[in-house]
Amino acid sequence: MINDPISDLFTRVRNASCVHHSEVLVPYTKTNEKIVQILAQHGFILNFQKSTNMLVLTLKYKKNQPILVKLQRLSRPSCRLYVKKQNIPQICGKLGIVILSTSKGILSDREALQLKVGGEILGFVA
């Protein structure tokens, strides 16, 4: 049983990226699907598809180096981390993205700033 599916998603993708796998399987949840959509939208993975109870992610590489250098969970079930819209951090001078859980759903930092909402910081990608 997985206690934290978001940490599990981040760990699977990070590990697969480090060993240069072309695809990685992660358990399907609506939260995982939305996070993967954000990763695909911002160009950190090539694409993804849903199969039975799993998401199949195709990882992206540039000159045999992984695009995903850092994928880290910030807010944990034991220690939540909330920010207001004006305090959303910038990662690597806007090269990375922060993933937030807001009242409007799971959003990237750029979408949250556009919609003028804050929320719980799930993690960041660089």
More confident residue, 52 or 57: 57
Residues of the chain with CATH 3.30.1490.10: 71-125
Residues of the chain with CATH 3.30.1370.30: 5-66
Spelled out in words, what is the top-level CATH class assigned to the domain 71-125?
A: alpha beta
pLDDT single digits (tens) 57-115: 999 999 999 999 899 999 988 899 999 999 999 887 778 999 999 999 999 999 999 99
Torsion angle in degrees (nearest 10) through CA of 69, 80, 35, 63? 0
* pLDDT at residue 46 greater than cutoff 90: yes
Whether 41 and 15 have beta carbons less than 8 Å apart is answered as no
| pTM as predicted | 0.94
Rounded Cα distance, 38 and 89, in Å: 17
CATH number for 5-66 (one of 3.90.1150.10, 3.90.1300.10, 3.30.1370.30, 3.30.70.870): it is 3.30.1370.30
pLDDT at 12: 96
Rounded Cα distance, 33 and 30, in Å: 5
* pLDDT at residue 2 greater than cutoff 80: no
Give residue 115's identity as a one-letter amino acid code: L
Reported confidence tier of residue 30, pLDDT bands at 50, 70, 90: very high
